[in-house]
Structure 1
Amino acid sequence: MINFYAFQGTVTMISDFDTGQSGEGEGCYKLFSVENGLGAVVNFVVSPTTYFVDHVMVEIGDRVTGYYDGNAPVPFIYPPQYQAIVMVKDNPVQNVKVSYFNNQLVSSDGQLQVNISPFTQIVLTNGQFFSNSPANRDLIVIYGPSTRSIPAQTTPYRIIVLC
């Protein structure tokens, strides 16, 4: 189980990231610098396995949220540098939650409960349908309105299972 942490801000720089290994990996890794508007900066290492919600192209000036494993080791440098697992470009018509969801489909922070409808698309990161229960898994939940209860409840548009 990944302990997902998030950092939200504006992309201020995108550059190639040198992994130190020559050959096939050159140009495949990017470094996204993200500033939150309060002076905090985070660098995200974006690899070929980083999942971009809706497969959007991110550019300098875009508002994004980067999700990373809070338990993963990180180099002791400033600004902090995290391996991006999921990147979300802000979209005013949808909300996104990346978390582990338990057997009741409640996120690990207890803030969101998912109610699945027959219209909820449940897919893998490669776009193929997921045929099992999404409970007890790491999920990307894409949803619109939610209740104001704790946990908030929603019926998502789409669930992406992170296998």
Structure 2
Amino acid sequence: MINFQSFHGRVTMIEDFFVQSNGEQLGCYKLMSVQNRYGSLVKFVISPDTYFVNHVMVKIGDIVTGFYDANAPTPMIFPPQFRAIVMAKNTPYQKVKVGYFNRQLVSSDNKLKLNISQSTRIILKNDQTFTKNPANHNLIVVYGFTTMSIPAQTTPYKIIVMC
């Protein structure tokens, strides 16, 4: 099971990150440096499989949240370098949560419960409609306001199912 963690901050650098495959250097990867308000720095490896919420283009100066698997092996270097699974650019009135949601649509950290409405778009990463129940899946949830309860409840704008 993926242990989704996140890091939130301002993009300070984006550069090519070369990965060798069969002796060839592939230019399909980027290394994105993100610094939070406390000065901590993380480098995200952006691969062709990294999902960008709303398919936005990220540039230096943007505020983003990178989601990664805390259980995945990482090199013992400073600053830490994580393989980004999902990247979300800050957007007013929009929050993003990535994680596993159980059959009651409660996140594995018990911080968010989803109340799906007819207006909630439920799609796959390739933007095709997901026709089953999104429960018991890893989800990318795009939402706005929440209740003050524990867990907080929301009616999401969009749910992306990560099959």
| TM-score bracket relative to the smaller structure | over 0.9
- Identity among equivalent positions (%) equals 62
**Residue 89 of structure 1 aligns with which residue?**
89
The Cα of 1:144 is off from its aligned counterpart by 1.0
The Cα of 1:26 is off from its aligned counterpart by 2.1
Amino acid at match of 2:87: M
Give a deviation string over 1:133-160, Cα, whole Å, max 9, x none: 1001000011111101010001111100
Which ranges in structure 2 are unaligned for 5 or more consecutive residues?
none
Q: Per the alignment, in what secondary structure is the counterpart of residue 19 of structure 1?
A: strand
| TM-score, normalised with respect to structure 1 | 0.97
The Cα of 1:20 is off from its aligned counterpart by 2.8
**Residue 107 of structure 2 aligns with which residue?**
107
Following the alignment from structure 1 to structure 2, what is the Cα–Cα distance between the partners of residues 10 and 43? 11
Following the alignment from structure 2 to structure 1, what is the Cα–Cα distance between the partners of residues 39 and 107? 29
Following the alignment from structure 1 to structure 2, what is the Cα–Cα distance between the partners of residues 60 and 120? 32
Give a deviation string over 1:11-48, Cα, whole Å, max 9, x none: 0000000113343x622000000000212100000000
The Cα of 1:61 is off from its aligned counterpart by 0.3
**Residue 50 of structure 1 aligns with which residue?**
50
| TM-score, normalised with respect to structure 2 | 0.97
**Residue 129 of structure 1 aligns with which residue?**
129
Q: Per the alignment, in what secondary structure is the counterpart of residue 139 of structure 2?
A: strand
Following the alignment from structure 1 to structure 2, what is the Cα–Cα distance between the partners of residues 96 and 76? 28
Following the alignment from structure 1 to structure 2, what is the Cα–Cα distance between the partners of residues 39 and 145? 29
Give a deviation string over 1:88-110, Cα, whole Å, max 9, x none: 00011211111100111001110
Give a deviation string over 1:97-132, Cα, whole Å, max 9, x none: 111001110011100000111111100000000011
**Residue 76 of structure 1 aligns with which residue?**
76
Following the alignment from structure 2 to structure 1, what is the Cα–Cα distance between the partners of residues 35 and 41? 4
The question of 1:152 aligning with 2:135 is answered no
Kept in 1, the 8 Å contact 2:19–2:27? The answer is no
* Higher strand content, 1 or 2: 2
The question of 1:31 aligning with 2:8 is answered no
Following the alignment from structure 2 to structure 1, what is the Cα–Cα distance between the partners of residues 72 and 160? 22
The root-mean-square deviation of aligned C-alpha atoms, in Å, is 0.9
**Residue 66 of structure 2 aligns with which residue?**
66
Following the alignment from structure 1 to structure 2, what is the Cα–Cα distance between the partners of residues 143 and 39? 28
The Cα of 1:80 is off from its aligned counterpart by 0.4
